[in-house]
Amino acid sequence: EKLFMGDQVLRVTAGDEGQVTQLRVLGEQAELQVDFWRHPTRPGHPADLRVPFSSLPAVKTFLESNNISYSIMIEDVQELLDEERRTMVKSRRT
Amino acid sequence: ERSTSTFDFASYHTIDEIYHWMDVLVGDHPNLVSKIQIGQSYENRPLYVLKFSTGGSNRSAIWLDTGIHPREWITQATGIWTANKIAEEYGKDPSVTAILDSMDIFFEIVTNPDGFVFTHSSDRLWRKTRSINAGSPCIGVDPNRNWDAGFGGSGASSDPCSETYHGPYAHSEREVKAIADFILGHGNVKSVISIHSYSQMLLFPYGYKTAPVPNHQEMNELAKKAVSDLAAVYGTKYTYGSIMDTIYAADGIAVDWAYDNGVKYSFTFELRDTGRYGFLLPSTQIIPTATETWPALLDVMVHVLEHPY
């Protein structure tokens, strides 16, 4: 079973076309294993990136060094998954 | 559950529970709903489709599918609720009744069963099929980049490790080929509505080229009405338009294939996002999501009924 402990989902908003392009470049860096949940489309529209725990420093540095604004949408993916599982077990018991 | 009245539509369910529920739905509405199998998945799971029909032979039809990307759980859950709604509203709601008095509806609720099972057992965030890629350690193909419509272009990846890997050749995935064969074999499908989550969009072709479809204006106006009626329920705001204009270039996708194969009313939904949970939407979101999606779906289906071609 794959665990997602410490993985975060970042909501990123590109300010211009150049930043949209930079986000696409970020997605092409296979070693970072960034999983785009919502892809960058145009300036002002949010993109959501699941970032493995091990890649968080590199990705955040990339965003900050390119002045791309972001917020943390999900602090810890595994916590949400655990909560989802608890809900399903409870529902089934009911 | 022994009856659809005791099934918990507000919960997420395993594939066994969903497949069992399909049988219950058929049992509860034997003169309206039947279950057909259109193929088998890579791991040999049955690909089931619910057929809603009041009779006739090879009537014009609407195709609905949910869950081609298995991690989008709100989508399959909305599919279950919607299928039940169609069955329950026939004979009550004038629009549903009019549609089913003239047309059939085919509804594939778990379009990618192998991936769906994998999201329950091993990787909650799995998106692709589970087929093995020769020469690569990475598993799976993005089934919504595997259709024969601009297949292999720049809006998909040739890397088997990518989430948008298009596969070795068009329709290499059994899950895709089964639908393509079914729709082509049927020959009278007038609308394809492929449902995803989560970006709050109602989209239509093309994704693989910038040219507008010939009936772009009609599609745009229909999409505008549908998202307006959706927003009237809970205020959820959708964007709409062609895939290329609204999201990005996407090659080898289902609705482009459908359109290029004569299905004029081809749409794809991206269901709701609370802005916090993404694909992990709590189950409390299922009923609201399905409820608000219903009038938009109905708008499209009624338009198809009223604009025969």
Q: What's the one-letter identity of residue B281? A: L
Q: Does A38 touch chain B (CB under 8 A)?
A: yes
What whole-number distance in Å separates Cα of residue B124 and Cα of residue B284? 18
Q: Could you report the per-residue pLDDT of B258-294, keeping only the tens digit for each? A: 999 999 999 999 999 888 899 999 999 999 999 999 9
**What was the pLDDT predicted at B177?**
98
Nearest to A35 among B8, B121, B163 (CB): B163
Cα–Cα dist B223/B240, whole Å: 6
pLDDT of res. B1: 47
Interface contact flag, B276 A74, Cβ < 8 Å: yes
| DSSP at B307 | S
B276 has a chain A CB within 8 A of its CB: yes
Q: What is the pLDDT along chain B (309 residues), one digit of tens a residue?
A: 456 667 999 999 999 999 999 999 999 999 999 999 999 999 999 999 999 999 999 999 999 999 999 999 999 999 999 999 999 999 999 999 999 999 999 999 999 999 999 999 999 999 999 999 999 999 999 999 999 999 999 889 999 999 999 999 999 999 999 999 999 999 999 999 999 999 999 999 999 999 999 999 999 999 999 999 999 999 999 999 999 999 888 999 999 999 999 999 999 999 998 888 999 999 999 999 999 999 999 999 999 999 999
Could B246 and A41 be called an inter-chain contact, meaning their C-beta atoms sit closer than 8 Å? yes
For an interface test with A, give the residue of B76, B126, B203, B279 to mutate (most A CBs within 10 A).
Answer: B279
- Where b means 16+ CB within 10 Å and e means fewer, B286-301 reads bebbbbbbbbbbbbbb
Which member of A37, A87, A88 has the closest CB to residue B278? Answer: A37
Contacts of B163 in chain A (CB under 8 A): 35-36
Q: Where are the alpha helices (DSSP H) in A1-94?
A: 17-28, 56-65, 77-93
SS3 category, B181 = helix
Q: How big is chain B, counted in residues?
A: 309
Query: Annotated catalytic residue: which of B43, B270, B292, B306?
Result: B270
Average pLDDT, chain A: 94
A58 touches chain B (CB under 8 A): no
- Which residues in B lie closer than 8 A to residue A81 (C-beta atoms)? 124, 280
Number of H helices, E strands in chain A: 3, 4
Q: Tell me how many residue pairs between chain A and chain B have CB atoms under 8 A apart.
A: 64
- Identify the bridge partners of residue A69 per DSSP, sorted by sequence position: A13
Q: Is the pLDDT of residue A47 over 70?
A: yes
Residue with token string 């729709």: B183
Per the annotation, the verdict on B270 as an active-site residue is: yes
Distance CA B193, CA B165 (A): 23
With CB atoms and an 8 Å threshold, state whether B121 touches A84: no
Question: What number is the ipTM of this complex?
Answer: 0.93
Q: Which of A24-28, A72-76, B103-107, B147-151 has the lowest mean pLDDT?
A: A24-28
Q: How far apart are CA B286 and CA B155, in angstroms?
A: 31
